[in-house]
Structures are given as C-alpha cells and as structure tokens.
Amino acid sequence: MKMAMETRILVIPFPIQGHLNPMLQLSKRLVSKGLKVTLVSTNSSLKPNNIISSIDFEFINDGFDAELNPETFDEYIKCFKVVFPQNLAKFMESRKSLGFPFKFVVYDSGMPWMLDVARDLGMDGAPFFTQSCAVNAVYYHLDQGTLKVPSEGCSVALPSMPLLGSDDLPTLVYETDSRQSLRELIVNQMLNIHEPNWILCNTFDKLEEEVVNWMKIQCQIKAVGPTVPSKYMDKRLENDNDYGLSLFKPYSETCKTWLDSKAINSVVYVSFGSLAAVGEEQMEEIAWGLRRSNSFFLWVVRESESQKLPKNFSEETSDKGLVVSWSPQLEVLAHKSVGCFMTHCGWNSTLEALSLGVPMVAIPQWTDQTTNAKYVEDVWQIGVRVKVNEKGIVTREEIEVCIREVMEGGRSKDFRRNSEKWKELAKEAVDEGGSSDKNLEEFVAAIVST
C-alpha cells in the first residue's frame, strides 16, 4: 500500500451538515485504504469539533459573508458557483507548484461542473451522491425525459422501483416554481451522469438491490455506504465514534442519564434534523400526539423552533418526556431504551436508523424525504408513514396511532425483526469483504494504478 499512501486526493462536499457528514465519513474510509485525503470546504461552513489527524482540512473562500439559511440560499448558490471554482483552482495549482499535486477529486453530486474543473487541471473525478439510489433513479428519469410526473392522487411505474404515488416522489420533481436555485442544484446532479468513470453512492447493494442494479446499467455507479461512524458498524476504524462536525452542541450527558433510567424499547426519539422547520400548528399536534401516546419521549427541538411549543409543554410533560435543543443522535439511536424514531426521513437519519436497527415513524417534509418514507414503510417494512389531513397537517390522533402501532401494535415485532435484519446487512456491507468495502477497494486500486 506504499504507492497508495503517496496518492493524494481531494474530497469536496457541499458545505451543509447533511452533506459534510457523509463525505467526511467516506474520507475516513478512503484514508483507511491508504489514500492521503484533503477535505475542502468553504470559509463559511462548519469546522471540525476536534482534530481528525488522518485528514487534512482546507477552507476556501466562497465569497459569501452572510449566514447561510433558507432565505439566503438562492443568493448563496449564485455566489458559490462563480467564486468557489476559481479559488479552488488556485489552491490546487498552488499545491501542485509546491510538489504536492492531487491525483483525483471526489466531489458532491450537486457540483457536476467539478468534473470539468478537475479534468482541466489534469485530474479525474467522481461524484458522491448523498441521497438514496432510488432518489437518484427518479432524478435520472427526470433528466432523461422518461418520467411523466403523475397528477395528484395518481401513480407512476418506473423500472426496478415500487409503484410511486405523487406524494412518494421527491417534492422538487413537481414543485417547479419554488426554491428555484435548490431545484436546479438537485435536478442538475444528472447533467453529465454518463461522463464519470466512477460514481459513488451512499447506500449498500442489498438495501436497494433492484434499483442499484438498474442504475449500474445506466452509469458507473458503486454503492459504498452506509457512511455511519465505524463504532456503530464494523469497528475497524480506531476512535471513529462520531462524525466530528456539528452545527449545535448536543446535550449528551443529559440525554444519556435520562435514557439510562428508562426500560428497553420504551422511548420514542423525535428529531427532524438540522434544517426542517415545522409550522406552529403542526408542532402543537406533534406535542399532544406524543402526550396521548403515553410513551416516554426524547424530543429534539432546535432553539430556533422552541417558541412554537405549546406553553409550559416541557414542564407539564416532564413525567414522560425530555425536550432538548440538540442530541448526540447516534448515541441515542444506539441506546437500548429507544424503541422508535419519529423522523423527517432525511437520508442520513434514515441510514442511521437502518444501521442501528431502530423502527421508524416517518413524517417526511420535502425533497427526497417523501421517497425515503415510501421505502421505510413499503419496501424495507421497518415502520409507518403518517397520513396528513386536507390541510396538510398530521393530527395528534394520527401521531398517537402511528406511535402505538410501531411501539406496541400488531406489527411491532415485524418492524423490530426487519430493523435487525437491515442492521446486520448494513454492517456486513462495510465490514471486510462486504459489498461496499469491496467497491471502495476497487475504487482506490483504480486511482492508485492510473
């Protein structure tokens, strides 16, 4: 592996937590295979919580000085696409002049133009898709003009996938007028999909076998996930206990002490990620749905969302629940007292629950979450998806019913059994000789040999 140790590559995520975390984990795996990895992000993105000695970090000016949030996203994308490639090219040229050239670039799939940047500088590159292969396939059909978007209440049949209703498709497929820059960023992932010699995807073969095999026919895709810290998977990477990046400070000790006092499988863990904003009416319905379920609950409500909670809710439910502004999610999901995860079904959260064997109540909000929720309920059969009313609200009664169904209902044992099955298959994929491990070995060997 001496040659591999001399092979330097760049890893370039899109600078938001949901993309940084999986690409950082991928970087750790690539380092374990012998590559020298420099992870490049922007001056306005997250910095590591602690030193990750195996990876070099570089922060390049993206030309953006304001805080990145949904209101500034369009402005940010316009700035990012112009300034970042210019400054990145300068950085890469400077390293080359110092005698430390990079040989390859692994870039976020939201930056398809990065392949041209890399090749113009004499390197090759591979995109990394941080979403499911099923979602990749939907966007592929959209790009190829082979997806006829169904009208509301109707379904569409796509190769290798279950029948998808209009509410199972990624929301940006049919929401063509809103969040234009974000929609372009996501849909344009497929612009040059047939050009890369390698395409990496954060999934594993057995999880999405049919659609992975179908996508392999269309392009050079390889499943290399799940990108979950090694402590919770194969335990082959030393001191790999967490991602190493976080927007917020977790209440680790508070959560652990509280969970330790609860019986096995007795707690509903509730979190909607780092970005999703829940309306005030919906927040109230979730609150009282949790109360009505009579289960213990640990609920993550970010500080920016806390004013939407019903007045005195935390105090009035302290016998049953704990509300915190952030949690160490992997530690929580791995805790024996957690019996259910109520989630927005972001792909990272979905993969974490799958990898740790936790059944789910799916409350998808937007983008790929609706498709992930479809698979949670109908394909992997590890939970239920809530139904919304005519106002698009999930009622407290529906939340109560769904929690009870997963925690103690007639299918609860099936959900747990299926969750355990996927947990074992996820570990198998990343462990030595597993499908994802082999794919990474082949990828590294190809980079080193060229």
Q: Beta-strand (E) ranges in 147-226?
A: 155-156, 164-165, 199-201, 221-223
Active site annotation includes 108: yes
Strand partners, 268: 297, 340
Out of 56, 74, 108, 240, pick the active-site residue: 108
Beta partners for residue 360, in sequence order: 341, 383
Whether the Cβ atoms of residue 48 and residue 19 lie closer than 8 Å to each other: no
CA distance 423 to 414: 14
Dihedral angle over CA of 441, 235, 216, 16, nearest 10: -110
Pairing of strands 104-108, 199-201: unpaired
Nearest Cα to 108, choosing from 31, 218, 34, 202? 202
Q: Beta-strand (E) ranges in 118-187?
A: 124-129, 155-156, 164-165
**Residue 300, beta-bridge partner list:** 324
Q: Measure the CA–CA gap between 186 and 204, rounded to whole angstroms.
A: 21
Q: Which alpha helices (DSSP H) does 188-326 contain, by range?
A: 209-218, 252-260, 280-293, 313-316
Q: What is the 3-state secondary structure (H, E, C) of 210-229?
A: HHHHHHHHHCCEEECCCCCC
C-alpha span between 121 and 89 (Å, rounded): 8
Cα angle 108, 114, 115; round to 5: 105
In sequence order, the 6+-apart residues with CB closer than 8 A to the CB of 7 are 34, 35, 36, 103, 104, 447, 448
> Which residue carries 């991928």 as its tokens?
26
> Are 225 and 203 within 8 A, CB to CB?
yes
The catalytic site residues sit at 19, 108
